[in-house]
Amino acid sequence: MSDRVLLKPITDESNTTKSGIYIPENENKERPFIYEVLEVWPDVSVEVKVWDKILSGQYSWDDINLDWEKFKILASEYILAIIED
């Protein structure tokens, strides 16, 4: 776990956009996802810190559930970008 980050999804994973446009299932699965960093383990190779927003592709994380909330654990090598506000 030395190079991992704990993430909370902040994107809507539904099949519709905010304006109500339907996104086909195959397109919805291929899009990148935005997360908020909740914890950073010591050997992370990217300069990321808690509360940063990051971009990651799909299928590069492990799902965990804590107290009925969904979180992701991601290896730092799969962070595609840090999003600036």
pTM of the complete model beyond 0.85? no
**pLDDT at residue 16 greater than cutoff 70:** no
Average pLDDT, integer, range 38-44: 87
> How much is the pLDDT for 66?
84
Which residues constitute the domain of residue 26?
A: 4-83
Q: Higher model confidence: residue 28 or residue 17?
A: 17
Q: Say which CATH number the domain at 27 has.
A: 2.30.33.40
Maximum Cα interatomic distance, the chain, rounded to a whole number of Å: 42
Q: Please give the average per-residue pLDDT across 60-67, as a whole number.
A: 83
Give the count of domains, the chain. 1
Cα–Cα separations (whole angstroms), residue 36 to 20, 21, 26, 32: 25, 25, 25, 14
Average pLDDT of the residues of the chain:
79
Q: Is the pLDDT of residue 11 over 90?
A: no
